[in-house]
Amino acid sequence: DLPKKYRSQIPHEKEVVMVEPSANCPNGTRGRLGVYEILEINDGIRAAILDSADESIIHKIARENGMLSLKEDTIIKAMQKIIPFEEVAQIGGLMNVEEEKEEEEEKEEKTLEVILEESNEPKNTTRSDDGIASFERDLV
């Protein structure tokens, strides 16, 4: 979710800025402002990296230090009318690393289920810490 301090900066207006082509720029992109996701490497992030911390830990530390996602930066700039609102839809993606991680795990589980269903009664199915599934089966 968009951090509270940034949510309060978003104007609650119904009017948004859209791309407007001109004679000098037929696609309406000249002079547009970029959107960014910047991870500042501070002491907390550095320590997490050196400790081989999981991506979610590094993300949590970055968020605690005020990092915005690319999508959040896009939303803020669109609502402030400094970039076209269409950019929000073009950026896409999830706004939460945990949601992305859960979605990946669900895909892996579904893939494993399909493999198990297609195999000949697999035996001793196990999943390692890194999520890799292995199983034994009788070959016909």
Three-state DSSP at 123 gives: strand
105 and 89 assigned to the same domain = no
31 and 73 assigned to the same domain = yes
For residues 86 and 4, give the distance between their C-alpha atoms in angstroms, rounded to a whole number. Answer: 23
117 and 69 assigned to the same domain = no
36 and 78 assigned to the same domain = yes
Q: How many CA atoms lie within 13 A of 58 on its CB side?
A: 15
28 and 72 assigned to the same domain = yes
Query: Which tens digit of pLDDT belongs to each residue from 2-59?
Result: 677 767 766 666 666 666 777 787 777 777 788 889 999 999 999 999 999 999 999 9
Tokens standing for residue 38 = 């910047």
Count of structural domains within the chain: 2
Mean pLDDT of 83-102: 66
124 and 56 assigned to the same domain = no
110 and 82 assigned to the same domain = no
69 and 8 assigned to the same domain = yes
77 and 103 assigned to the same domain = no
22 and 75 assigned to the same domain = yes
90 and 102 assigned to the same domain = no
- Position 52 scores a pLDDT of 95
84 and 116 assigned to the same domain = no
- Position 37 scores a pLDDT of 92
Which residues span the domain enclosing 43?
1-94
- Which of 131, 128, 87 shows the shortest CA–CA distance to 111? 131
